[in-house]
Structure 1
Amino acid sequence: MKILSIDSSSTCSTCSILEDNKLLGEIIYNDKKQHSIILLSQIDSLLENLNIDIVNIDAFVVSEGPGSFTGLRIGLATAKGLAQGLNKPIIGVSTLDCLAHNIAFFDGIICPIMDALRDNVYTSIYKFSGENLERIKDYMAIHIDELIQMLKENGDPKVCFVGDATYKFKEKLSNSFPNSYFAPAHLNIARASSLGELGIKKLLNGDQDNLFTFSPIYLRKSQAEREYENKIRMVPNE
């Protein structure tokens, strides 16, 4: 079974192809948000270099968020178009699940943090039970200080932080948690290969998404929506 996975939820644009439990190839660009320009060419390049025809892909896995609103929509539209055109399954995997999976078998708490601007983060809390990744808190968009307070409710946990927000908050988190660890740079992105591994597990369990109702996990309203609501509140009642 060949799986093509796609992630464009952040500045990183990445795609990979897995065949069963083997990673055949992966392309990662982590520079600028040019997903609408480069994502399809990445996929074409990956297929060409692996000498795989797109019709031989058995399912498509895509990041369902949270993350960049525009990036998520580009990735999802691409995966949906391919899945519908080829009549193949589509599976959504959370970006946060993917980041946590990067830190496989860490024996403490795993806390992915993605920058949500204004000192907020997209986050959740995980632990490994044997070979299984367990999410022990739901997906959240909260202030970094709220996250610190939440984690401190468990005393002084052994915790590994992973994600692009670690660069922004590393000093604050290090001072708050003496028993803290931080993922290396190559694991601080939601790699398409990790996304694909989780997607394969879901597919084998009979879990796939409805092509026509599947939508991203945003966790919060877009800036345009917030600005519009503020304008509405400022209009005086007649």
Structure 2
Amino acid sequence: MLLAIDTSSQVMSLALHDGRQIVYEATWRTRNNHTTELTPTIETALEQAAIKASGLAAVAVAQGPGSFTGLRIGLGVAKGLAEAQQLPLIAIPSLDIVAAAVPAFNGPLVAVLQAGRGRVCAQRYRWARDVWVADGDASITTWLALVESVEQETIFAGEIDEAGYGLLNETGRPARCVPGAFSLRRAGFLAELAWARFAAGDMDDPATVTPIYLNQPGEPRS
């Protein structure tokens, strides 16, 4: 059984994957209570699946980008479990989790996370070999700059706030949001991505894996 943990932002998610299907999943919005909410939810997940931590085969965690506090807590818990139970650890970029939920599309996908102060962290993807593949690096930008950069039919997914919805709906450019169910960052997709790596023997070293933060060097942490 693989435990998947995502605390990248105020949207938290947790899942258990048995190698064939998701056997438990919970996704919720927190008011920065990552510390007090994560461990009890893991305990509930294990209880619902009728297993103990010692019965896990691997731990997966969202690596970021994301908030400093959320990522620190998620990585800390995931590393602690991996080291205590001698489990493999798999870290997956958070925007890859967003992209994994979006169906195939003949055009670019832009996955986003809120970065605070009116900014977003955005990553472009292209559909290739039946999966979304990152096209370039993630960057911190604004909704206005993102929308103005659209030159071909493009879909957006992830943490799209009211400002983003407004600009995307009002622009004359060929941009649109995916339906809400495809936009939610879910640990079930983190678990699917991580299980594929686990099955291929592609794991991370708990001692060296580090989070990817939203903030640029020298900026205040979120």
Does the TM-score normalized on the shorter chain lie above 0.5?
yes
String of CA shifts for 1:72-101, please: whole Å, max 9, x gaps: 000000000000001111111111110111
Q: CA deviation at 1:178?
A: 4.4
Q: CA deviation at 1:203?
A: 2.3
Distance 1:101 1:220 in 2: 24
String of CA shifts for 1:188-214, please: whole Å, max 9, x gaps: 332111111111122233322111111
Q: CA deviation at 1:227?
A: 5.7
Counterparts of 1:129-208 in structure 2, within 5 Å, are 129-150=128-149, 152=150, 155=151, 157-176=152-171, 178-208=173-203
Q: Which amino acid aligns with 2:165?
A: K
User: Highest CA radius of gyration, 1 or 2?
Assistant: 1
The residue number in structure 1 matching 2:60 is 61
- Could you say what the CA RMSD is over the residues aligned between the two structures, in angstroms? 2.0
Q: Does 1:37 align with 2:30?
A: no
Q: Which amino acid aligns with 2:187?
A: A
Q: Which amino acid aligns with 2:56?
A: I
Distance 1:126 1:177 in 2: 22
Q: Percent identity over the alignment?
A: 28
Which region of structure 1 is more displaced relative to structure 2, 21-30 or 87-96?
21-30
Point out which structure has higher relative CO (alpha carbons under 8 A, 6+ apart).
2
Q: Which amino acid aligns with 2:122?
A: T
The residue number in structure 2 matching 1:117 is 116
SS at match of 1:126: strand
String of CA shifts for 1:58-79, please: whole Å, max 9, x gaps: 1111010011110000000000
The residue number in structure 1 matching 2:48 is 49
Which region of structure 1 is more displaced relative to structure 2, 203-212 or 115-124?
203-212
String of CA shifts for 1:148-181, please: whole Å, max 9, x gaps: 343x3xx3x2222111134331121233354333
SS at match of 1:27: strand
The residue number in structure 1 matching 2:219 is 226
SS at match of 1:137: coil
SS at match of 1:116: strand
Query: Does the CA contact (< 8 Å) of 1:59 and 1:90 recur in 2?
Result: yes
Structure 2: stretches of 5+ with no match in the other structure: none
Aligned residues, how many?
A: 221
Query: Does the CA contact (< 8 Å) of 2:147 and 2:173 recur in 1?
Result: no
Query: Does the CA contact (< 8 Å) of 1:63 and 1:94 recur in 2?
Result: yes
Distance 2:197 2:163 in 1: 33
Q: Does 1:8 align with 2:7?
A: yes
The residue number in structure 2 matching 1:84 is 83
TM-score by length of 1: 0.85
